[in-house]
Amino acid sequence: MSLLSHHPRRLIIAITGATGVAYGVRLLQILRDLPEIESHLMISDAGVLNLHQELDMRRKDVEALADVVHNVRDVGASIASGSFQSDGMIVAPCSMKTLASVANGLSDNLIARAADVVLKERRRLVLMVRETPFNLAHLRNMTSVTEMGGIIFPPLPGFYHRPQSIEEMIDHTIGRVLDLYAVPHTLTPRWSGLKSET
Ligand SMILES: Cc1cc2nc3c(=O)[nH]c(=O)nc-3n(C[C@H](O)[C@H](O)[C@H](O)COP(=O)(O)O)c2cc1C
């Protein structure tokens, strides 16, 4: 079911230079298998560095997973306008720099502009922020985005479902993000209560 019924389902995905680019890649892999959803991708320069560092992937390997690719410097792209309808945007992972830019409405590249548009059009914005520990600027910026209607979703793994691999941990988190957009998936085991001790 679409959040807005009169346009194709579209999700904007941005990969920025925080560690954890595997979250963005997994998201794109899931969306690639859902032809009813059009994925729009942006990768920041620091995101490209981390794709290489963490996954040995090149920009073009990841861009091949998306339906539409945008250059972060192209502030004239479709997704820079509120008239281009989408179901929202996920920044996976989201650096503290991109968080700061979104929190302060800077629109200084297409990632920050697209997020700004999603917020102004009251669409769903999820920032998978990643840093540790946080300084006060990080915390204040997360509060600002929350006050504007965005969702701060740090990729923090749960252990109660006893994950056996990093892939399982990533899928569990990505499943919870997709739940926020009513995207059907089987990535997340559904909690049915604590196991009995006996
Ligand atoms: C290997 C590596 C790991 C990084 N991890 C983080 C991180 O976890 N969180 C963060 O906020 N920045 C991290 N950074 C720094 C960002 O990449 C840097 O601030 C960059 O300017 C972010 O720009 P972007 O938001 O346009 O991608 C990391 C950088 C490198 C090279």
Q: Domain containing 109 — which CATH number? A: 3.40.50.1950
- Classify residue 151: in a domain, yes or no: yes
Counts of helices then strands in the chain (DSSP H, E): 7, 6
- Classify residue 14: in a domain, yes or no: yes
Tally of CB atoms within 10 A around 198: 3
- Classify residue 91: in a domain, yes or no: yes
The confidence score (pLDDT) of residue 85 equals: 95
Q: Based on the structure, what is the number of domains in the chain?
A: 1
- Classify residue 59: in a domain, yes or no: yes
Give the span between the Cα atoms of 177 and 181, in whole angstroms: 7
**CB of 53 closer than 6 angstroms to any ligand 1 atom:** yes
CA–centroid distance, residue 45 to ligand 1 (Å): 10
- C-beta pairs of 157-160 under 8 Å, 24+ apart in sequence: 160/191
- Classify residue 3: in a domain, yes or no: no
**CB of 18 closer than 6 angstroms to any ligand 1 atom:** yes
Q: Does 26 carry a binding-site annotation?
A: no
Residue 40, beta-bridge partner list: 12, 68
Note down the domain range covering 31.
9-179
CA–centroid distance, residue 3 to ligand 1 (Å): 32
Q: Name the pTM for this structure.
A: 0.95
Q: Is the peptide bond before 189 cis (omega within 30 degrees of 0)?
A: no
Q: Does 95 carry a binding-site annotation?
A: yes
The confidence score (pLDDT) of residue 191 equals: 85
Give alpha helix (H) positions in the chain: 21-32, 45-55, 59-63, 96-103, 110-120, 136-147, 166-179
**CB of 138 closer than 6 angstroms to any ligand 1 atom:** no
- Classify residue 190: in a domain, yes or no: no
- Classify residue 144: in a domain, yes or no: yes
Q: Which amino acid is at 31?
A: L
Please report, in tens digits, the pLDDT of each residue of the chain (198 residues total): 445 456 789 999 999 999 999 999 999 999 999 999 999 999 999 999 999 999 999 999 999 999 999 999 999 999 999 999 999 999 999 999 999 999 999 999 999 999 999 999 999 999 999 999 999 999 999 999 999 999 999 999 999 989 999 999 999 999 999 999 999 999 988 888 888 766
- Classify residue 129: in a domain, yes or no: yes
